[in-house]
Amino acid sequence: MIGPITSALTSSGLTNLVQSTSSSVATETVLKAIGRPGFILIDNDISPDTKKYAAAKEFLYQATCLVIYMALVVPVFKKGAFKYAKNHLFKDVPDAGFDKFKDLKTYALYRKLSEKTMEDRQHILNVNKLQDRFSPSIRTELLTKDDPEKFNKIKGSIELGSLIGSVLGLAILAPQVSHAFIHPALRFLGLEKPKEKPHT
Amino acid sequence: MGFQNFLRNVCSKLGENNKPTYAVVAIAAVKGICRPTFTMMDKTEKPETKKYTALREGLTEIIAIPVYLACGYLAGKCSPLITRKVTKDDFLTNQIKQDIANGVQSDKVQKAVQNAEKQLGKYKMRVTNNLRFVGVCAAALVAIPALCSLTIKPVMTKLLKTPKYEEKPETPQVQSTPAYNNSNIRKSFRLNAYQSRPQSGMKVGGV
């Protein structure tokens, strides 16, 4: 018997989120932006001013990470990985299925539709007139097969790109950008003293 | 060619099953190497401050990696508890169930049963992966900040061999200590003295 907890745990929304590196990393960053400042604020060993300062700094850091990640890393690395895999990595591997998809968007739409039941797919394709977006072989795959081919190599290439982007963005780029942004922001919020000019 | 094949294998593996721990562990590992390195390369900070900050950043990530792995693994292990009542019958239509009850052994029934078994396997894998993600989120939200709060301060004190600081009630400052009188230096020494800015015990930020 499938209970409510199992049904929530296997919902397609959660599954897609888990299987997508970018969505899961973004979710974790949001949780860090809540959890870490929260833990600083409940720490009784530090003074209220320090708590406020550290919590605000941590929140701003995680928010900067999220903005950088969503604005730069996700589109650049995902698209870049798709292009690189299509033109170089899997160029001589027709089984990978890259030649069946024009771009990343088309594959993402295909993948989303392939998760649905055949009746739903047929309905969505006909109602939204999406059939033109796919090549004939892909259209057949979606309209006639119970379990359409997933093209896991394409999915894996995109995820690898996201993974590399996440590492570079969150471990290298975000700390540098946040360093330039956080202190002025804290000064603006009145949590940090303005820089004193050196005496000459 | 070797590296290309390696990349192809990685892509295939990630496409089949992208475990939620992969990304967080990769990020934590690179952060654990790069952040202390950047800190040590900073020429504007004092050597003591650099050493302290780099060590704390490294320790945070060293704690984070096993916690992510353990939370993901343990949460995934709860999957059989949740899916124990789910059977292949849940993936069969009423018609097929009736056929089976009546003892019908047609190709259609066999195919439906095989399909249901496949779906059950996929379903269990889905639950395991999603639970792993919940575990990783719990690690990011609660377990890692809590563990860092508990462990970093004592470990840092031990590694840097600094005397334990005891909070004293604030007293109004009457006179600053003369520069030549250094008899009070040990008393007023505190871990935070390494910091140029106010900090909490747990290093969580990137700057």
Distance from CA of B104 to the nearest CA of A (A): 23
pLDDT higher than threshold 70 for residue A34 = yes
Say which range, A123-127, B26-30, B142-146, B172-176, has the weakest mean pLDDT: B172-176
Distances (CA, A) of B82 to A2, B4, B89: 9, 40, 16
pLDDT higher than threshold 70 for residue B188 = no
Distance from CA of B99 to the nearest CA of A (A): 20
pLDDT for res B200: 47
Q: What is the pLDDT of residues B80-114, one digit of tens each?
A: 998 888 888 888 888 888 888 888 888 888 888 88
Q: Which among A46-50, B134-138, B200-204 has the top mean pLDDT?
A: B134-138
| B169 touching A (Cβ < 8 Å) | no
Give the residue on B whose Cα is nearest the Cα of A37.
B204
Mean pLDDT score across all residues of chain A: 86
List CB contacts (< 8 A) between A146 and chain B. Answer: 115
- The domain spans of chain A are 18-76+162-190
In whole angstroms, what separates CA B107 from the centre of its chain?
Answer: 48
Max Cα separation, chain A?
79
Give which of A146, A149, A154, A153 is closest to A116, Cα–Cα.
Answer: A146
Residues with Cβ within 8 Å of residue A23, at least 6 apart in sequence: A16, A17
Residues with Cβ within 8 Å of residue A70, at least 6 apart in sequence: A26
Mapping DSSP onto H, E and C, the string for chain A reads CCCHHHHHHCCHHHHHHHHCHHHHHHHHHHHHHHHHHHHHHCCCCCCHHHHHHHHHHHHHHHHHHHHHHHHHHHHHHHHHHHHHHHHHHCCCCHHHCHHHCCCHHHHHHHHHHHCCCHHHHHHHHHHCCCHHHCCHHHHHHHHHCCCCCCCHHHHHHHHHHHHHHHHHHHHHHHHHHHHHHHHHHHHHCCCCCCCCCCCC
Q: What is the pLDDT of residues B38-52, one digit of tens each?
A: 888 878 778 888 888
Cβ B123 vs Cβ B80: under 8 Å: no
Q: What is the pLDDT of residues B156-182, one digit of tens each?
A: 888 877 655 555 555 555 555 555 555
pLDDT for res B29: 94
pLDDT for res B132: 94
pLDDT for res A1: 64
* pTM of the model as a whole: 0.78
Q: Do A175 and B141 touch (CB under 8 A)?
A: no
| B16 touching A (Cβ < 8 Å) | yes
Give which of A92, A35, A26, A80 is closest to A59, Cα–Cα.
Answer: A35
Distance from CA of A120 to the nearest CA of B (A): 18
pLDDT for res B207: 44
Confidence of residue A48 (pLDDT cuts 50, 70, 90): confident
What is the rounded average pLDDT of the residues A67-83?
88
For residue A130, which phi and psi values (nearest 5 degrees)?
-95, -5
What is the rounded average pLDDT of the residues A99-128?
87
Q: Do B15 and A163 touch (CB under 8 A)?
A: no
pLDDT for res B118: 87
Burial state string for A153-162 with b = 16 or more CB within 10 A and e = fewer than 16:
bbbbbbbbbb
Q: What is the pLDDT of residues A12-25, one digit of tens each?
A: 888 888 888 989 99
| A14 touching B (Cβ < 8 Å) | yes
Q: Do B12 and A152 touch (CB under 8 A)?
A: yes
pLDDT for res B167: 52
d(CA A68, CA B135): 25
Q: Do B27 and A167 touch (CB under 8 A)?
A: yes
d(CA B100, CA A67): 55
Rg (CA), chain A: 23
